[in-house]
Every structure is written in structure tokens, then in C-alpha cells.
Amino acid sequence: DTGVSQNPRHKITKRGQNVTFRCDPISEHNRLYWYRQTLGQGPEFLTYFQNEAQLEKSRLLSDRFSAERPKGSFSTLEIQRTEQGDSAMYLCASSSLSGPDNSPLHFGNGTRLTVT
Amino acid sequence: QKEVEQDPGPLSVPEGAIVSLNCTYSNSAFQYFMWYRQYSRKGPELLMYTYSSGNKEDGRFTAQVDKSSKYISLFIRDSQPSDSATYLCAMSARGAQKLVFGQGTRLTINP
């Protein structure tokens, strides 16, 4: 168990550019989540996958944001036409379906996005 | 009003002190309660996970849930400088996949 892995750790981009982040969950976990965290705040839910199916999306996830999880393994989060307000830490988490309904989430160390 | 309220601190205590952290919430459907610890520039790390009301102890950490008051607490005994971090409470309803987090309390343990 190597934990949840996120790449890159830090991304600096200019306003208007597109960025893509990758998350590799814990291998036996079939649920995968994306959260966003701004400075001094707790993480906010963005979206959730069970295997390859995206089952829930927050209204925070505007049409500039898209997430995928092909083959139910790794996931990518893409932000198109980035804005300065997109600057945040993007956290990925995973959990197991085989446990209780609400198995605890295990987080990666995040990708810190800075939009200049 | 936020669903989960947590005092952001900062909270500063001497080494060895007992630390009390707490959160209140408004959604009576919440049944799963978690505490996460987050070091600077790292992701949240799960500390405690409890279901419904009651107490749970793990080493120096004790989590308490009082659903009647919609109030949860985390106690840290014999606090160490390495406990200095931001502590986040989180909760969810049964069957819901979304965790709702508090703002986090920034804690410093002074040697």
C-alpha cells in the first residue's frame, strides 16, 4: 500500500491556460474523490467516482472542470481556461467499497495550483 | 450558516498539555464523524473515525460524539511538538459519499 499518489505536486500556469492533474488511488480502492482546498479553509467536495462511473458532481465544478477515471484506475482532473480564482490545493482521496457504507477517505498530498 | 463550524484558532499550548478541539454541526443526518490532521503542504491524514454517538480512544487521542447536541470533540493527551498541525473535523450522512469538513483548527505545541 503506497498510498494515494498525485502529480504534479505543484503547477504554476498563466491565466487562460489549461491544466491537467493526475491521481493514482490506493490499488484496491474503487471509490475516488476530488476535493479543493483554499488557504485557511477545509477541503470542499468536487466530484466522486465509483470504478469508472462519475456518480456525483458538486455545483462548484463549473463547465471548465472535467474529471475522468478511465478503466476505474487512475483519474485526471482538467481545468480549462484557468482563472486566478482556481488557485488552490486539489486533493484526491480514495476509499474501499467493501467496507461499511462510509469507509474513511485516504487523501493524497495534493496538487497546488497557482494561476498568475 | 455553514453545515460544520470549527474555530480556526490559532491555538497554542505548552508541551504535555491536554488539548481539546471541537466542532458543531447543523445536519442531523450526519452519522459518520472523522478527525484529520494536516501538516503544512501535505494532504489530510485520518486520525479518528467514529460512527454515531460515543467515545473512541486510540493512544493519546480520544474522539467524542454527542449527536443530541450536534457536537464532536477530539482530545489529545500529553501533547507533543510533533502534534503541531491543522486539525480538521469531517462528517457525512449514511449512504452519502460527500464529506463535509470544518474550517480546521491550527494547533501549535510549544516545547
Question: How far apart (Å, rounded) are the C-alpha atoms in residues B103 and A44?
Answer: 10
Number of residues that this document lists for chain A? 116
The confidence score (pLDDT) of residue A99 equals 57
Average pLDDT over residues A83-90: 97
Contacts of B97 in chain A (CB under 8 A): 31, 33, 48, 55-56, 102
Q: Which residues of A70-80 are buried (b: 16+ CB within 10 A; e: fewer)?
A: eeeebbebebe
- Cell triple for A58: 458538486
Distance of residue B100 Cα from the nearest chain A Cα, in angstroms: 7
Give me the total of CB pairs closer than 8 Å, taking one residue from chain A and one from chain B. Answer: 65
Q: What are phi and psi of B82, to 5 degrees?
A: -70, -10
pLDDT value of position A98: 64
Q: The cell 480512544 sits on which residue?
A: B57
Residue type, B46: L
**Res. A101: pLDDT tops 70:** no
Would you state the cell numbers that stand for residue B96, as one nine-digit string?
452519502
Mean pLDDT over all residues of chain B?
94
Q: Which residues of A touch B101 (CB under 8 A)?
A: 42-44
- Average pLDDT over chain A, rounded to whole? 92
What's the whole-number mean pLDDT along residues A62-66? 94
C-alpha atoms less than 13 angstroms from C-alpha of B30 in its C-beta half-sphere: 29
C-alpha span between A66 and A58 (Å, rounded): 12
Q: Are B88 and A42 in contact (CB < 8 Å)?
A: yes
CA B71 from centre of chain: 11
Q: Does the pLDDT at position A102 exceed 80? A: no
User: What are the CA-CA distances from residue B54 to residues A37, A38, B18, B47 (Å)?
Assistant: 30, 32, 20, 16
Of A40, A48, A91, the CB nearest to B97: A48
pLDDT at position A72: 84
**Cross-chain CB nearest to A45 (options B46, B94, B99):** B99
Q: Is A57 part of the contact surface with chain B (CB cutoff 8 Å)?
A: no
Mean pLDDT check: name the lowest of A9-13, A61-65, A106-110: A61-65
Strand partners, B49: B34
B99 touches chain A (CB under 8 A): yes
Integer Cα distance of B108 and B106 in angstroms = 7
What mean pLDDT do residues A18-30 have?
A: 94
A67-76 LR contacts (CB < 8 Å, sep 24+): A67/A34, A69/A32, A72/A30, A73/A24, A73/A25, A74/A22, A74/A23, A74/A24, A74/A25, A75/A22, A75/A23, A75/A25, A75/A32, A75/A34, A75/A49, A76/A20, A76/A21, A76/A22, A76/A23
* Interface check B63 vs A, CB under 8 A: no
Q: Does A110 touch chain B (CB under 8 A)?
A: yes
The pLDDT of residue A100 is 56
Q: Give the cell for residue A112.
A: 497546488
Confidence of residue B52 (pLDDT cuts 50, 70, 90): confident
Mutate to test the interface with A, among B99, B100, B101, B105 (most CBs of A within 10 A): B99
Nearest CA to B38 out of B87, B76, B95, B84 is that of: B87
Closest chain A residue to the Cα of B33, Cα to Cα: A104
Min CA distance, B90 vs chain A (Å)?
9
| Set of chain B residues whose Cβ sits within 8 Å of the Cβ of A40 | 8, 103-104
